[in-house]
């Protein structure tokens, strides 16, 4: 075949779709350029579970069992919503019909699917202020406008949200972390959950309730998830990330009936379904020994309580009066406030890095004006030993003293 083109070969400019043009380079939180570190730096950066409380041996044993089964269903295609044993286990634990459960590749994936299925391009989304910054990055998929809603000591301020709605705010969705708010660590009381859901149903928006830390409560009183699982206006986003390991990339969403089909249709056109292999292994893990998951949680909670207290104690010892430390009831973060007005938070972060301790600066978390987040530090204690946490506090203490 002779193939001729009519003109000299010149590379034509490709037009980038609006979808990708709206994705902006990360700044602040998650910016890899900020991750340069001293060789022995202590990283208190991410919500990372400790390897010692992940059930590695049990996962290996479950894998051997599912790969020994005739027909090898674990290596074959499966349905978009997830494999039955895992979906049924999740549905029973959530107290919802199995049809409302869709298995995801982790919590962020659940948020991303919900954003794409719920938020029209350019629409407005109400979000926590301060907020988990990666959610804002996910919102870029819908090129959404952000409406910040204040977060107080007990999670999102539902009364403030009601005022904004009365004032004309009409969001397509609202994003909040109800248990151990990220970053500010408060938990939304059950009654406020109900009020939030009533607002969503009245004004016609969808609550994206992001609950990755929910199972890691180590003190205080649990607040109900039932308001989130019984409303037609909530997507309840959950994951095994903080309990069985982020690397599995396995989570789930509880969807309202009228969203389940849209999310499944979208998912079927993206990656089809979560790894059958991972689902089969985790499904086998949690169903073959019905108490195992709770035993894993008990061990993890005890570890994180000790680490949380160790870090809080060490901060108070290493830098007396420098921080106001609210002890969290669960999760993987401390959110101390810089109490000394002479200490500049950005200078402190730079000095701390020089001393060999890295954390997420509070200034990465506001979604709008009006918060004191920039006066806080987000310190992760999940995957750092008590001894290293004490050393991290000492380094922070030295960093504080550079300004005092």
Please state the closest distance from residue 294 (CB atom) to a second copy, in A: 19
Q: Return the exposure string of 54-93: e unless at least 16 CB atoms fall within 10 Å of the residue's CB, then b.
A: bbeebbeebbeebeeeeeeebeeebebbbbebbbebbbee
Considering only residues 201, 316, 326, 340, which one is a binding residue for a second copy as defined by CB under 8 A?
Answer: 201
Told to check if 273 binds a second copy by CB under 8 A, we report yes
20 binds a second copy (CB under 8 A): yes
Does residue 12 belong to the site contacting a second copy (CB under 8 A)? yes
- Could you say whether residue 221 binds a second copy (CB under 8 A)? no
Binding flags for a second copy, 234-253, as an x/- string (CB under 8 A): ----------xxxxxxx---
344 binds a second copy, rule: CB under 8 A = no
We find the least distance from the C-beta atom of residue 43 to a second copy, in angstroms, to be 12
Backbone angles phi, psi at 303, to 5 degrees: -65, -45
The one segment of 118-126, 303-311, 353-361, 366-374 that binds a second copy by CB under 8 A: 118-126
Concatenated DSSP letters of 143-208? TPEEEEEEEETTEE-HHHHHHHHHTT---SEEEE--SS-TTT-----HHHHHHHHHHHHHHT-EEE
Residue 229 C-beta: closest distance to a second copy, Å: 17
Q: Among 38, 72, 302, 347, which residue interacts with a second copy (rule: CB under 8 A)?
A: 72
Q: Does 33 bind a second copy (CB under 8 A)?
A: no
Closest approach of a second copy to the CB of residue 259, in Å: 8
Q: Rounded to whole angstroms, how far apart are CA atoms 330 and 165?
A: 31
Tell me whether residue 1 or residue 341 sits nearer to a second copy (CB atom): 1
Name which of 219 and 295 has its Cβ closer to a second copy: 295
- Tell whether residue 16 is a contact of a second copy (CB under 8 A): yes
Site for a second copy in 274-293 (CB under 8 A): 274-278, 280
Which of the ranges 54-62, 177-185, 338-346, 370-378 carries the binding residues for a second copy, by CB under 8 A? 54-62
CB of 189 to a second copy, least distance (A): 9
Residue position matching structure tokens 């309202």: 256
Token pair, residue 99, equals: 């049809």
For the CB of residue 402, give the shortest distance to a second copy in the complex, in Å. Answer: 32
| Composition of the chain by helix, strand, coil, percent to 5 | 45, 15, 40
Spatial distance between the Cα atoms of 345 and 340, rounded to a whole number of angstroms? 10
Options 82, 86, 104, 360; binder of a second copy; rule CB under 8 A: 104
Query: With CB under 8 A, what is the number of residues at the site for a second copy?
Result: 98
HSE of 363, CA atoms in CB hemisphere, 13 A: 9
Among 34, 90, 101, 119, binds a second copy (CB under 8 A): 119
Task: Give Cα separations from 180 to 77, 107, 215, 260 (angstroms).
Answer: 36, 15, 10, 27
Task: Retrieve residue 50's tokens.
Answer: 């400790």
The token pair that represents 143 in the structure block:
């090129």
- What minimum distance in Å lies between the beta carbon of 203 and a second copy? 6
Cα–Cα dist 78/239, whole Å: 20
Report in angstroms how near the CB of residue 256 gets to a second copy at its nearest. Answer: 9
Q: What's the rounded Cα separation, in Å, for the pair 324 and 288?
A: 45
- Does 5 help bind a second copy (rule: CB under 8 A)? yes
Residue 45 interacting with a second copy (CB under 8 A): no
Considering only residues 160 to 199 of the shown chain, the ones binding a second copy according to CB under 8 A are 162, 166, 172, 191-192, 195, 198-199
Angstrom distance (rounded) from CA 182 to CA 270: 28
Within residues 127-146, the interface with a second copy by CB under 8 A covers 137-138, 140-142
């Amino acid at each position: 075949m002779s193939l001729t083109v009519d003109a000299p070969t010149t590379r034509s400019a490709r037009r980038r779709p609006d979808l990708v043009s709206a994705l902006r380079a990360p700044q602040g939180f998650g910016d890899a350029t900020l991750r340069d570190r001293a060789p022995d730096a202590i990283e208190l950066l991410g919500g990372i579970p400790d390897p010692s409380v992940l059930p590695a041996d049990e996962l290996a044993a479950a894998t051997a069992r599912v790969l020994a089964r005739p027909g090898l269903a674990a290596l074959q295609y499966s349905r978009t919503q997830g494999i039955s044993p895992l979906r049924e286990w999740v549905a029973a634990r959530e107290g919802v019909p199995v049809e409302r459960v869709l298995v995801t590749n982790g919590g962020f994936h659940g948020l991303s699917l919900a954003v794409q299925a719920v938020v029209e391009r350019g629409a407005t989304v109400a979000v926590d202020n301060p907020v988990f910054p990666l959610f804002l990055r996910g919102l870029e998929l819908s090129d959404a406008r952000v409406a910040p809603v204040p977060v107080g000591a007990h999670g999102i301020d539902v009364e403030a949200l009601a005022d904004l709605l009365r004032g004309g705010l009409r969001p397509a969705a609202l994003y909040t972390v109800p248990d151990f708010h990220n970053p500010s660590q408060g938990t939304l009381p059950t009654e406020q959950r109900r009020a939030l859901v009533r607002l969503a149903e009245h004004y016609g928006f969808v609550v994206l309730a992001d609950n990755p830390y929910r199972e890691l409560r180590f003190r205080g009183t649990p607040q109900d998830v039932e308001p989130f699982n019984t409303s037609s206006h909530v997507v309840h986003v959950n994951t095994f990330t903080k309990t069985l390991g982020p690397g599995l990339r396995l989570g789930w969403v509880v969807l309202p009936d009228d969203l389940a089909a849209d999310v499944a249709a979208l998912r079927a056109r993206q990656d089809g379904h979560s790894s059958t292999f991972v689902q089969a292994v985790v499904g086998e893990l949690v169903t073959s020994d019905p108490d195992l998951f709770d035993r894993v949680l008990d061990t993890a909670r005890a570890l994180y309580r000790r680490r949380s207290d160790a870090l809080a104690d060490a901060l108070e010892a290493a830098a007396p009066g420098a921080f106001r430390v609210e002890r969290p009831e669960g999760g993987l973060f401390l959110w101390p406030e810089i109490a000394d007005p002479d200490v500049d938070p950005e200078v402190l972060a730079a000095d701390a890095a020089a001393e060999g301790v890295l954390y997420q600066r509070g200034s990465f978390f506001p979604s709008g004006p009006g918060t004191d987040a920039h006066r806080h530090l987000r310190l992760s204690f999940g995957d750092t030993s008590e001894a290293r946490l004490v050393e991290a506090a000492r380094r922070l203490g030295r960093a504080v003293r550079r300004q005092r």
